Structure 1
């Protein structure tokens, strides 16, 4: 079975020049935890997750008797939300090809502990996404059909 046979084809993507505010709105509106990032040629250039956003927005607090520095989240969000996604996206993305096998997807997901993987065509354009749940459902289908 090929990745293209079970990938989700309706993929939310954003451009690397979109803002963190746009990302937050997209994640919230669509109830998703991350998405691939593309350039102006619709090619995969990164990926960003809700965890990346939380780490980026995390207020920093330092204190000692020599130095005191504190940022509140209310002060951080307005400034950082205007920055482009290329500032926080992971740039070294492992992606699947649409003709890769189920076994290849399973291997990559398990070795790297990824939750989702983008799927690209030969031009490195995003054509789908698969999650651990998608792979588990396919494995379950195969097992159930093998038992019958």
Structure 2
């Protein structure tokens, strides 16, 4: 089975000039947690997820001491957190999005897709054809298709 047979063709995406506020609105409107970021030619230039946003607003500093790894939360009141949350809304999506995006070609085998999703611990894979975004595949899509004989 190939990517084109299991991918969703209606992809919710955002343009590279969008604000993080716009992205969050898309997440809320559509009940999703991540979207590809595309340029005017519909080429994938990034991917932003709720985790990327959480990493920004949950800012912390890291200390390494005596071979143990400690994470020390920044000291301060809730205003620092709220200020970071407010501030990020007006950021350009590309300031927060990942620029390295795992993708698959439209004719990729489902076994390789399952391997990538599992190995890279990602939830969704954008699907490209000739460098252009044409679909998206989630872990759930693969599981449903792989085990549809149970239904």
* Structure 1 residue 62 corresponds to structure 2 residue 74: yes
Name 2:17's counterpart in structure 1. Answer: 17
- Per mean C-alpha deviation after superposition, the further-off stretch among 111-120 and 74-83 is 74-83
1:41 is the counterpart of 2:41: yes
SS in 2 for 1:92: coil
2:135 equivalent to 1:132: no
- The equivalent residue for 1:66 is none
- CA separation of 1:75 and 1:2: change in aligned 2, threshold 3 A: same
**Residue 27 of structure 1 contacts residue 34 of structure 1 at CA under 8 Å; is this kept in 2?**
yes
- Runs of 4+ displaced beyond 4 Å: none
TM-score, structure 1 as length reference: 0.85
How far apart are residue 73 of structure 1 and its match? 2.9
How far apart, CA to CA, are the structure 2 residues paired with 1:59 and 1:90?
17
User: Following TM superposition, by how much is the alpha carbon of 1:103 offset from its aligned partner in structure 2, in angstroms?
Assistant: 1.1
Aligned residues: 138
Name the structure 2 match of 1:28: 28
- TM-score when scaled to structure 2? 0.83
Structure 1 unaligned runs (5+)? 64-68
The question of whether the paired residues in 2 share the 8 Å contact of 1:59 and 1:72 is answered with no
Unaligned runs of 5+ in 2: 61-72
Segment of structure 1 superposing worse, 75-84 or 111-120: 75-84
Q: Deviations over 1:72-100 (max 9, x none)?
A: 33322332211101101111111011111
Task: Give how far 1:6 is off.
Answer: 0.8
Q: CA RMSD in A?
A: 1.8
